[in-house]
Amino acid sequence: MNKATLRKELMELTPAERLDLIGELWDSLTPENVPPLSDEDMQELDRRHEALVRDPSRGSSWEDAKARLLAKYK
């Protein structure tokens, strides 16, 4: 199966099914097989981390964020 065919089939899934699959794919990654972040990406992560440290109420747990996304796209 080629990438275009796979993409076409994946787009036939419901949004909730696609989000679930995204989670499964993400969880399948290990640090050894993830490409390094660019300097720009690292700077953005540092900026977001500093903002969260300054005001922890601005952040959400993964469980809360996932629940909001699933509710929005079901």
- Domain range for 26: 1-34
The answer to whether residues 51 and 70 belong to one domain is yes
The answer to whether residues 22 and 52 belong to one domain is no
The answer to whether residues 29 and 42 belong to one domain is no
Give residue 69's identity as a one-letter amino acid code.
L
pLDDT tens for 15-71 read: 999 999 999 999 999 989 889 999 999 999 999 999 999 999 988 999 999 999 989
pTM over 0.75: no
From residue 12, give the alpha-carbon distance in Å to each of 7, 18, 24, 26, 62: 9, 9, 18, 20, 26
pLDDT tens for 59-70 read: 899 999 999 998
Q: How many domains does the chain have?
A: 2
The answer to whether residues 52 and 66 belong to one domain is yes
The answer to whether residues 41 and 74 belong to one domain is yes
